[in-house]
């Protein structure tokens, strides 16, 4: 098996960096859209209850089925929180990709216990910050989408019970 030269390693590293930056840019386009939808969805139940129920000639009700609205609001708030975490992790990832952090060969005890398990496969080729922020970015996007979809389902059930 031929040895990989330093030049080849450097080229591969630059390709990986370019790919990561491109992926990050695509995430940066999608995340604000989901965050805007989540923010708007926080208000929808109140608007529907206040404005549309009387328009359908239904008597105003003092009792709203909050057992679905409250979990929906909490899930949408968690979605927004994940979006904020995404933006922080994304900015830190770009900093790490452009060499804002030093590469280290030795690790501290805390890094080996809390960080290395998250980034073990890339430990020697990337800074631990690169690996950790990339993982945090990916997890936060997953949380953003999952919490948004679950929150939306709860609010649809709330609106169905309302009418």
Q: What are the backbone angles phi and psi of residue 127, rounded to the nearest 5°?
A: -70, 155
pLDDT one-digit tens code per residue, 101-139: 665 555 666 666 656 555 555 545 566 778 888 899 999
Q: How confident is the model at residue 1 (pLDDT cuts 50, 70, 90)?
A: very low
Distance of CA 144 to the CA centre of its chain: 4
DSSP code string of 44-110: HHHHIIIIIHHHTTPPP-S---HHHHHHHHHHHHHHHHHHHHHHHHHHHHHHHHTT-S---SS--HH
DSSP code string of 68-86: HHHHHHHHHHHHHHHHHHH
> What pLDDT, on the 0 to 100 scale, is given for residue 74?
94
In a domain, 1, yes or no: no
In a domain, 17, yes or no: yes
In a domain, 126, yes or no: yes
What total number of domains does the chain contain? 1
In a domain, 103, yes or no: yes
Q: Report the C-alpha gap between 49 and 159 in whole angstroms.
A: 8
pTM: 0.72
In a domain, 3, yes or no: no
In a domain, 5, yes or no: no
Contact 55, 92 (CB under 8 A): no
> What pLDDT, on the 0 to 100 scale, is given for residue 67?
83
Boundaries of domain holding 79 = 10-162
Q: Report the C-alpha gap between 116 and 132 in whole angstroms.
A: 9
In a domain, 158, yes or no: yes
Q: What are the backbone angles phi and psi of residue 3, rounded to the nearest 5°?
A: -75, 145
In a domain, 4, yes or no: no
């Amino acid at each position: 098996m031929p040895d990989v030269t330093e030049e080849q390693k450097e080229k591969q590293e630059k390709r990986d960096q370019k790919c990561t930056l491109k992926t990050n840019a695509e995430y940066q386009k999608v995340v604000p859209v989901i965050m805007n939808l989540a923010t708007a969805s926080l208000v929808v139940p109140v608007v529907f209850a206040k404005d549309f129920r009387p328009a359908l000639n239904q008597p105003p009700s003092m009792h709203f089925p909050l057992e679905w609205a409250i979990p929906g609001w909490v899930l949408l708030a968690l979605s927004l929180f994940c979006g904020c975490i995404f933006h922080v992790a994304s900015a830190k990832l770009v900093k790490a990709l452009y060499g804002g952090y030093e590469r280290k060969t030795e690790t501290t005890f805390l890094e080996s216990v809390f960080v290395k398990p998250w980034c073990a496969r890339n430990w020697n080729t990337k800074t631990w910050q690169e690996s950790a922020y990339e993982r945090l970015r990916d997890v936060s996007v997953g949380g953003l989408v999952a919490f948004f979809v679950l929150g939306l389902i709860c609010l649809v059930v709330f609106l169905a019970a309302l009418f």
